[in-house]
A and B are shown apart, each in its own frame.
Chain A
Amino acid sequence: MDKLAILLPAMPLLSALSIALLADRPRRHIARLSVGFAALTLLFAAASLAFYLVEGQPHWLSLGSGWGSLTLDPLASLMALMVAGISLVVHVYAVRYMAEEPGYARFYILLDLMAAAILLMVAAGDLVTLLVAWHLIGVLLYFLLGHDTARPAAQRYAFWSFFTYRLGDLPLILAAVLLYQAYGTISLPALFERIAADPGAHAVLGVPLTTVVALLVALAAFARSAQFPLHTWLPYTMEGPTPVSALMHAGIVNAGGFILNRFAPVFVHAGEVLHLVFVVGLVTAILGSVLMLMQNDIKKSLGYSTMGQMGFMFVEAGVGAFSLAIYHLIAHGLFKGTLFLGAGSVIGNARKHDGVPHDDVYTFVVERKPVAYRLPWVVAAALTVVVPFFILGLSHWLVDDDFVGRQGAIILLFFGWVTGAQLLFVTYRLRAGSPWRLMAMIILSLVIVVAGYTWIGHAFDVFLYPDRAFSDRLYAAASIPLGTFEVLAAILTVAVVGGWLATYYATANGGARSGEASPLRLALYSLLSREFYVADIYTWLTQAVLGLSRRLNVWLRWV
Chain B
Amino acid sequence: MATLLIVALFLPLYPLSVVLNGALARLRGPVARCALLLAWPQLGVALLQLAPQAIPQAFVPWALATAGFYALRLLTVRDMGQWAGFLATSALALSWALAAGGAGRAELHAFAFWFSLPAALVALLAHPLARRFGAAYAGLQGGLIGNLPRLSGMLALTVLAAVATPPFPGFFALLNLLHVLDWSGALGVLAIWLVWGWAATRLLQGFIFGAGRAASLGDIGRASTLLYTGVLGAFAIAGLTLTGGGL
Contacts and interface: CB of A to CB of B under 8 A. Distances in A.
B73 to A, nearest CB: 5
Contact of B190 (A174, A204, A546, A558): A174
B234 to A, nearest CB: 16
Contacts of A135: 165-166, 171
Chain A: number of interface residues, binned into ranges = 35 or more
Interface stretch (A80-88, A148-156, A253-261): A148-156
A504 interface: no
A66 B186 contact: no
Contact of B194 (A159, A166, A178, A186): A166
Contact of B76 (A131, A150, A170, A549): A549
Contacts of B25: 558-559
B128 interface: no
B247 interface: yes
Interface in B179-214: 179, 183, 186-187, 190-191, 193-194, 197-198, 201, 205, 208-212
Contact of B175 (A68, A173, A204, A548): A173
B147 to A, nearest CB: 11
Contact of A177 (B175, B191, B193, B241): B175
A553 interface: yes
Given A65-B244, A558-B77, A181 B211 contact: no
A356 interface: no
Contacts of A375: none
Interface in B72-97: 72-77, 82
Interface residues of B, number: 47
Contacts of A44: none
Nearest to A162: B201
B82 A558 contact: yes
Contacts of A139: 160, 165
A28 interface: no
Contact of B247 (A68, A127, A163, A170): A127
B178 A149 contact: no
Contacts of B139: none
A550 B73 CA distance: 7
Contacts of A162: 197, 201
Nearest to A205: B183
B75 A545 contact: yes
Interface in B131-158: 143, 145-146, 156
B193 A170 contact: yes
A241 to B, nearest CB: 15
A136 B166 contact: yes
B72 A548 contact: yes
B245 A155 contact: no
Nearest to A132: B166
Contact of A102 (B72, B146, B193, B245): B146
A553 B166 contact: no
B246 interface: yes
A163 B196 CA distance: 11
Nearest to A179: B247
A66 B197 contact: no
A246 to B, nearest CB: 23
Interface of B: 18, 21-22, 25, 69, 72-77, 82, 143, 145-146, 156, 160, 165-167, 171-172, 175, 178-179, 183, 186-187, 190-191, 193-194, 197-198, 201, 205, 208-212, 240-241, 244-247
Given A128-B172, A173-B190, 16 more contacts: A67-B246, A68-B245, A131-B175, A132-B167, A135-B166, A136-B166, A150-B146, A150-B210, A155-B209, A159-B205, A167-B194, A177-B178, A177-B247, A186-B245, A549-B76, A559-B22
27 contacts: A65-B241, A65-B244, A67-B244, A68-B245, A128-B172, A128-B246, A132-B167, A146-B209, A149-B143, A150-B146, A155-B209, A162-B197, A162-B201, A163-B194, A176-B175, A177-B247, A178-B183, A180-B179, A186-B245, A186-B247, A205-B183, A548-B72, A549-B72, A552-B72, A553-B77, A556-B73, A559-B22
Interface of A: 65-68, 102-103, 126-128, 131-132, 135-136, 139, 142-143, 146, 149-150, 152, 155, 159, 162-163, 166-167, 170, 173-174, 176-178, 180-181, 186, 204-205, 545-546, 548-550, 552-553, 556, 558-559
